[in-house]
Structure 1
């Protein structure tokens, strides 16, 4: 019987280094935890590199793991937990290759999301998940946005990271102007916007790129001014504002409904 790898094993230690952004960037590898992430990564050609799994998870997810064409390493609970950033590790962690693509790949559809300096990994992951759910054709994490391969971002995306074109490292204004040049109408989600989301239906005709700003300070004036229109979400109650990922969901589904992507 093969002994499980321990936390001090060289292979485990090398994988654990991927918790650091600098190492991820250098190797273009990242860690993805859980059976859902492993299954989605396996569906992307060339993405999955290897999987570390506990004995219990190996038994529970035998059908998935037996079908993989990459090494599946049995490791003890402590070793697998050391690769996980979760409070309650799921028992299997995959090493994956980066899935980001050039900006041109994200501009090949009719609904785009541009995140401008979005720093919170949970928000970024949730926006990716929402963009996937609404049928968007790509997400651009522009400017100084969070690393999409941060473990919290990967978990928050719940597998959607592997579903749609993702672009990183592009200056915000460059992303906005590239979208406009490709025929998109860029709509800035802005609490001080001149257009109410409830009356913005005509803006959703044709390709649309939603522009969302930083959690703390929103969109700088220069960036918001570069958009084709600024759209505000009405606050009907006493709340000061909406969380960024919630605001993104409201905007994306509002435009999708008018465009006929979803029923409503």
Structure 2
């Protein structure tokens, strides 16, 4: 059992809480049973090490057994060591060091079907929002999530936790500029739909049925939405109607509503 909180191994894992260390090593930490379980189930090839406390190992035997069945390194650690490794206030007893899983933009786009459903994050800065959008895209059956260079690092621990495992369920591309993303999606024949409160087209007015091209929903910053130049570069600027007294929808809520609208139309007419 690892018990020394000052060991080089502990320091190396803890360093991955910094973006600079993640960029240098190409690794990040997934903390909590949901994240670790899904990483092992869907991308065991990307899992380098699993760290688990004795109490968590007894509680999550299926996860530990799956890790060992996949020939992964499983290290038993003290609760103090696990707490020193992660930046979570209340660790859940299990964490994994994983290699990054982002896919180059050209490869993601090349693998999209003609009626693809894609979510594009252009300037999303809040980790919880970014993770929840990825989770919503996964639930809606999206074919990919594309995160621009101006958005939050998807391997930030808060983003990883917020995805609740969805990070490993669908292709994710990071780091391209918005013009590069738009050019690639247009080249594949997708329609760019800007989701913004300034939209003149209401969501229920949008034709998402049979014969419509694939859709790429473009989401902006939590505070100021999409700038005019990005809205102007899209085919439609779409607004989710507000029927009650709420001023607006949270970014992740709006993204999920839009993605599900496209997903339902694709399911009904596909």
TM-score of the alignment, normalized to the shorter chain, above 0.5:
yes
TM-score by length of 1: 0.94
Structure 2 residue aligned with 1:251, among 236, 242, 258?
A: 258
Give the Å deviation of 1:63.
3.0
Q: Which residue of 1 aligns with 2:137?
A: 131
1:85 aligns with 2:84: no
Q: Which residue of 2 aligns with 1:197?
A: 203
* C-alpha separation in 2, matches of 1:15 and 1:186: 39
Q: Which residue of 1 aligns with 2:243?
A: 236
* C-alpha separation in 2, matches of 1:92 and 1:27: 21
Q: Which residue of 2 aligns with 1:50?
A: 49
CA contact (8 A) 1:32 1:96 kept: yes
1:26-41 matched pairs, under 5 angstroms: 26-41=24-39
Moved >4 Å (runs of 4+): none
Give the Å deviation of 1:85.
2.8
1:56-205 matched pairs, under 5 angstroms: 56-68=55-67, 69-107=71-109, 108-109=112-113, 110-202=116-208, 205=212
How many residue pairs match? The answer is 261
Distance 1:155 1:130, change over 3 A: same
TM-score by length of 2: 0.92
**1:192-223 C-alpha deviation (Å, 9 max, x unpaired):** 11211111134782210000001111111111
Which secondary structure does the structure 1 equivalent of 2:72 belong to? coil
Give the Å deviation of 1:130.
0.4
Q: CA RMSD in A?
A: 1.8
Greater CA drift, 90-99 or 60-69: 60-69
* C-alpha separation in 2, matches of 1:143 and 1:222: 17
Which secondary structure does the structure 1 equivalent of 2:45 belong to? coil
Unaligned runs of 5+ in 1: none
CA contact (8 A) 1:118 1:213 kept: yes
Give the Å deviation of 1:81.
1.4
Give the Å deviation of 1:45.
4.4
**1:152-205 C-alpha deviation (Å, 9 max, x unpaired):** 000000000011110111101211121111110010001111211111134782
* C-alpha separation in 2, matches of 1:38 and 1:141: 22
